[in-house]
Amino acid sequence: MRALRLRPQSAMAIYAHPDDADVAAGGVLAQWASDGCAVHLVVVCDGSKGSHAPQADPTSLKEVRSAELQLAADLLGATTVTSLERCDGGVANDEDLRATLVGLIRQYRPEVVVGPDPTATFFGGVYVNHRDHRETGWALLDAVAPAAAMPLYFPTKGEAHQVGQLLLSGTHEPDVVADVTATIDTKVKAVLAHASQLAGDADAIRDVVYGRAEQAGRPVGVAFGEAFRSVELAF
């Protein structure tokens, strides 16, 4: 495990659901944004199935979650937010999603792309990684390496762009830790912005976010961290 020293000028976070980026990488994204990096947030799903209540209305849930996403993105200091509004549970790593992601990568030209590690399926014998997370992860990998970088892939989607580095969250093979000590409170606020998704009061959520960040930071000696699997792409 090593400390992440990356200080990009442009970054893109691609996640499935409106709250995923904040939970997985809110600290490092807020840090980069406060350092002047352009942070582009891409959310694939509309959040319309994100409730355990049988009487929940998908249309109003979608509207609530869209507003929560904008609030959280503002807290992080994101430069742009793009919602692809795929129905929750309906993400597929198909040609259409890859074309859309390639178009966004070529438009915003990020040095680094952050997103879910699609290879992680089971966590601790108690959690199965959501299909939308896995499909989004595979689609972003395919969009970055190699499609966006090669002009004959999706030639109508802009000028080819090589992303320099991938940082994958929710991984079983983390090898870098970002120091998020300066932005952990911002991360907590961004997570709390997704009020429709919170089980428990704000203090309990804060404790969970702090606890996970403390654990992630320990191997590299920082108070609070976020761990990722890093892939540095040769070009």
Which range touches Zn ion (CB under 5 A), out of 14-22, 35-43, 54-62, 75-83?
Answer: 14-22
Using rule CB under 5 A, residue 142 touches Zn ion = no
**Which H helix or E strand runs over 203?**
helix 202-217
Edge-first strand listing for the sheet containing 80-86? 2-3, 176-179, 225-232, 165-169, 112-116, 10-15, 38-45, 80-86
The smaller minimum CB distance to Zn ion, of residues 130 and 157, is found at 130
Which range touches Zn ion (CB under 5 A), out of 13-21, 78-86, 104-112, 210-218?
Answer: 13-21
The answer, yes or no, to whether the previous bond of 118 is cis (omega within 30 of 0) is no
Binding residues for Zn ion, total number by CB under 5 A: 2
Which range touches Zn ion (CB under 5 A), out of 9-17, 69-77, 148-156, 198-206?
Answer: 9-17
Of 59, 14, 22, nearest to 198 by C-alpha is 22
Check residue 73 and give left, alpha or beta (phi > 0: left; psi -120 to 50: alpha): alpha
CB of 19 to Zn ion, least distance (A): 7
Residues in region 22-81 near Zn ion by CB under 5 A: none
Helical ranges in 39-176 per DSSP H: 58-76, 95-108, 131-144
The smaller minimum CB distance to Zn ion, of residues 20 and 22, is found at 20
Euclidean distance between CA atoms 200 and 88, whole angstroms? 23
CB of 18 to Zn ion, least distance (A): 8
Q: Which of 11, 12, 13, 17 binds Zn ion (CB under 5 A)?
A: 17
Which range touches Zn ion (CB under 5 A), out of 16-24, 114-122, 152-160, 214-222?
Answer: 16-24
Q: Which of 14, 20, 137, 142 binds Zn ion (CB under 5 A)?
A: 20
Of 139, 40, 35, 127, nearest to 86 by C-alpha is 139
Which residues are near Zn ion by CB under 5 A? 17, 20
